[in-house]
Amino acid sequence: MRVDIDSCEEILITITRNKTRSLLTAFGVFWGIFMLVTLIGGGKGMQEQMKSQFKGFATNSAFLVAQKTGEPYKGFRKGRSWDLKLDDIERLKKGVSAIDIITPSIAKWGNTAVYKDKKYSCSVKGLYPSYEHIEHQEMAYGRFINDVDIKEARKVCVIGKRVYESLFRPGEDPCGKFVRVDGIYYRVVGMCASEGNINIQGQASEAVTLPFSTMQQAYNLGNVVDVVCFTVKHGVKVTDVQPQAEQIVKTAHYIAPDDKQAVMMLNAEAMFSMVDNLMSGVRILIWMVGLGTLFAGAIGVSNIMMVTVRERTTEIGIRRAIGARPRDILQQILSESMVLTTIAGMAGISFAVLVLQVLETAANDPGNITTHYQVSFGLAIGTGMLLIVLGIFAGLAPAYRAMAVKPIDAIRDE
């Protein structure tokens, strides 16, 4: 039998061309699914990281701080300094029924905590036990300030994580030890491990916390309050009670009702809401970009299958001539499309999971995973199902074109 060299070369070129096209199309699906899974996992990690900045804080909390007045009022000049008082706590508790928990806070900065020959520059806070409802205190050792400490003005303290790491050996129980701050010795009753990044009168990890009454006496602060902290009842928004709370304080301290500068309110609820809205927008953007890239890959699969059908017209015509049913042709084209998208997609998911694992390891301390970048197993399964559906839809048009091939036309074209 005589072999036509030119025909063999043409067949090899066709096979090579088809493989190249298939690889390029598979890469499009691979890249699309890789982008989708990586963006979803990265978005999840970013959301957890942002939420960790607010860790421990009540989502329905607010903080009142006194500022210099911005308007003259009842004989008082503009720019007058004034202070919040303990009486304001009772006024707000009685005047604003929507307030749930309310507690004062005082603080000083630039202090030094000393234990034996070790020192640490820290802040000193005076708090009530109810402050735990505003900012959760995660105790690694001992306890937080209690009511007896307040009533008896005990010289006890709770130290932050950074203070503990600077003054004590790793694993050493600080409870019962005495720490000196500004010449006064305080017995340590607990160590707070909270490390939130919201700075309300200094970070908890860098503070020495005293009972409110103890700090009042130690620093001769009288009834002055630096910050009034409160939470609102369930179903009530801080924004709704803000005008009423500000008006009560302004009236008590002879501040103009329209003075927008004298009373500063930090609305933590609004901050949480803003972050939630931001993350919702990020999630929508991630799905739009990821699905758009994935659909582009599916369109590429459809196009390459169209080209494949056109180049295999003769083969399809011969199959039809020897008895292949339209359903067999449909099944063949759809199977090729599904296999192409599924294999490329699964490779993309696997590679994305590997990249996310590397990112998670790099973003966390060894042995302490706090931010998770991995996608859930259910999401991976759902993405795999999506790939199969896309493979079916990508192969429908080429499959129907292949079914329309008539044997006599295919042989005539040849």
Instruction: Report the pLDDT value the prediction gives residue 403, as an integer from 0 to 100.
Output: 67
What length is written for the chain? 414
* pLDDT, mean of residues 59-76: 87
Instruction: Report the pLDDT value the prediction gives residue 178, as an integer from 0 to 100.
Output: 94
* pLDDT, mean of residues 166-186: 92
Give the tokens for residue 308.
């494949």
Give the tens place of pLDDT for each residue, 119-133: 999 999 999 999 988
- Burial class of residue 94 (count of CB atoms within 10 Å of its CB; 0-12, 13-18, 19+): exposed
More confident residue, 21 or 259: 259
Task: Judge whether 279 and 272 are in contact, CB under 8 Å.
Answer: no
Angle at 262 between CA 257 and CA 263, to 5 degrees: 90
- Which amino acid is it at 242? Q
More confident residue, 166 or 405: 166
Q: What are the angstrom distances between the C-alpha of 363 and each of 115, 368, 372?
A: 33, 10, 9
Task: Judge whether 262 and 69 are in contact, CB under 8 Å.
Answer: yes
Give the range among 169-173, 196-200, 256-260, 262-266 with minimum mean pLDDT. Answer: 196-200
Give the tokens for residue 28.
């499009």
Task: Judge whether 208 and 111 are in contact, CB under 8 Å.
Answer: yes
Instruction: Report the pLDDT value the prediction gives residue 201, as an integer from 0 to 100.
Output: 73
Instruction: Report the pLDDT value the prediction gives residue 379, as an integer from 0 to 100.
Output: 75
CA distance 363 to 369: 9
3-state helix, strand, coil in the chain (%, to 5): 55, 20, 25
Give the range among 215-229, 235-249, 292-306, 346-360 with minimum mean pLDDT. Answer: 292-306
Counting Cα atoms < 13 Å in the Cβ hemisphere of 305 gives 31
Give the tens place of pLDDT for each residue, 370-413: 677 777 777 777 777 777 777 677 667 766 666 666 666 555 55
Give the burial string for 54-74 (b: 16+ CB within 10 Å, else e). bebbbebbbbbbbeebbbebe
202 sits in the region (left: phi over 0; alpha: psi -120 to 50; else beta) called left
Instruction: Report the pLDDT value the prediction gives residue 57, as an integer from 0 to 100.
Output: 75
CA distance 362 to 373: 11
Q: For residue 195, what is the DSSP state?
A: -
Closest by CA to 177, choosing from 167, 129, 328, 53, is 167
Q: Is the pLDDT of residue 105 over 80?
A: yes
Rg of the chain over CA atoms, in angstroms? 35
* pLDDT, mean of residues 290-318: 70
* pLDDT, mean of residues 97-122: 91
State the residue for tokens 């799905």: 287
Q: What is the H or E stretch that residue 16 is in?
A: helix 5-52
Instruction: List residues bridging with 181 in a β-sheet.
Output: 113, 184
Give the tens place of pLDDT for each residue, 210-244: 999 999 999 998 889 999 999 998 888 888 888 89
Q: SS3 of 178, please? A: strand
Task: Judge whether 301 and 25 are in contact, CB under 8 Å.
Answer: yes
State the residue for tokens 């042989």: 411
Angle between helices 238-252 and 268-311 (to 10 degrees): 160
Q: What are the angstrom distances between the C-alpha of 267 and each of 44, 176, 237, 292?
A: 25, 37, 10, 38
